[in-house]
Structures are given as structure tokens and as C-alpha cells.
Structure 1
């Protein structure tokens, strides 16, 4: 009885490297990134959920003031931005792998991967800006529009 391994589903093949050329094996590093970032994300996400839902009065305390107070501490800003970056890059890398597996035309793969890259970059930039420019008490705002924890202007 002979066992054969079927060809992979991926509809394209790469030309093999010549034995003299060396380059970065992006697939290997992408695979390693997925494993490492997954473990780190589990810690970050469960820490985030524990602090937001279990500490203090629980889910009833989640409001604008809670976020404002949390983001006044640089530790939580770095925690949340790290979680944002790792999650978006992890998800983008997973989507890239799916595109490589299922998109058959080279142009289609390029368009999809370009769109994924653009979405990840835009979301990382916007999310990072939100976290680091967040000000719950902007100067010059009418007092009736400010949260109760803001000092009177």
C-alpha cells in the first residue's frame, strides 16, 4: 500500500531559490510571529478584561470617566496600544495567509494583500492617535459639556 501526499491547495508555486542565494524566510517569521503574538495577546486580553470587568464595581463602572482615568496612567496607554498593535498585525498576517491560500491570480493576491496592509496601517495609526491624544477635559470647553471629574475651568 502506497501513501501519497496530495499537492497543496495553493494554486501558485514559487521558483526554488538557487543554492547560492540567501534571503529572509518571511513565511517562517510570519509563522513564529503568529505563535508569539498569540501567547502575548492572551495575557494582554485577559488582563484587560480582568481590570475592566472584575476589579472595582465591575461592568457597571465602565463609562467615559473610567476610560479617562485609566488612560491618565501611561502604563495603561502602553498596555492598550500594545494590545492594539499586536492584534491588528496578528489579524492582518492571518488574512494574508488566507489570501495566499485561496486567491489564484497573482494580481488578485496583490490587490487583496495591499488592501489588508492599508487597512491594518490606517487602523494602527488611528487607534494609536486616539489613545495618545485622548483628553477627557479639553481646555476651553463649556463647563456643562465636561465630565464631572474635570476641574472647573
Structure 2
């Protein structure tokens, strides 16, 4: 190789799936989808209801989470946001952490935390029950079918 030629990139020698390329592509697609989902969420919660932000209370959230459409909307937003954020943090860790073992441990910690939050958030959205634990002195007592 002469002084005026450029060496091939290290990644060109590897065969198989290019995870960095797919991560980069995911960030772009999920970013666009998140903008749509977040603005839809904000418009439906703050602009459309009568009273704006003052209309948001427990009953408002319970009513929205009773609808399968809004459940899936929120879960999609949750999943995309956590994976998007974890992938961004992974990129930062890969760029700035020098030690291979520390870098691997931090990346694992990021993905475990994101996975745990995704599982817990999904469980909350799909198992939310506004009547759970309602007592006769609660304002929800009359509106809960088991009361």
C-alpha cells in the first residue's frame, strides 16, 4: 500500500448483519414516528379536551386507558421512546468509554434498565384498573361495577 491510498475500514472485513447500520436506521425511523406519536398525545390531552390541561385528572387518564386504541398508542410510544433512548445511550457509551469491560457492562445495564422499564410500563398500560382498591368512601365507589 502506498502513502496515497486509504486503508479499508475495519468493518468491511466482517460479514453478517451490520448492527450499527440497523441501529442508525432505527433511530431515524423511530424519531419520525415518535414526533407523530408525541404530538398526537399532546394534542389529544391538552388541546382537544374542554378545559385543556385542567381537564387532566385521574378520571381522564382512566378513560383514555380504557380504550384499546389509546393503550396501543401509549405502548407504541413507550417502546419506541425507551429503545430509541437506550440506543442513543449505547452510542454515547461506545463513543466515550475506553475500557472494553466497562463499556460492555454499561451497555448491558442500559439495555436491562430499558427492558425492565418497557415490561413494567406495558404491564401498567394493559392492566390498569381504576377500580382496584376502591373503598366505599372513595369518589369512584359509585362508578365502579364491583362496588
**Is contact 2:34–2:77 with CA below 8 Å preserved after alignment?**
yes
Map 1:4-153 → 2, pairs under 5 A: 16=11, 18=13, 22-56=15-49, 57-138=51-132, 141-145=134-138, 147=140, 150-151=143-144, 153=147
How far apart are 1:146 and its partner, in Å? 5.0
Aligned residue number for residue 4 of structure 1: none
For structure 1, the 5+ residue unaligned runs are 1-13
How far apart are 1:141 and its partner, in Å? 3.5
Structure ranking higher on relative contact order (CA contacts 8 Å, 6+ apart): 1
**Is contact 1:137–1:146 with CA below 8 Å preserved after alignment?**
no
Find runs of 4+ consecutive structure 1 residues off by over 6 angstroms.
Answer: none
For structure 2, the 5+ residue unaligned runs are 1-8
RMSD value over aligned CA atoms? 1.9
Q: 1:130 to 1:79 in 2, by over 3 A?
A: same
The more displaced of 143-152 and 89-98 is: 143-152
Query: What do residues 37-66 of structure 1 show as CA deviations (whole Å, max 9, x unaligned)?
Result: 000000000000001100122100111000
Q: Please give the alpha-carbon distance, in whole angstroms, between the structure 2 residues aligned to 1:52 and 1:29.
A: 33
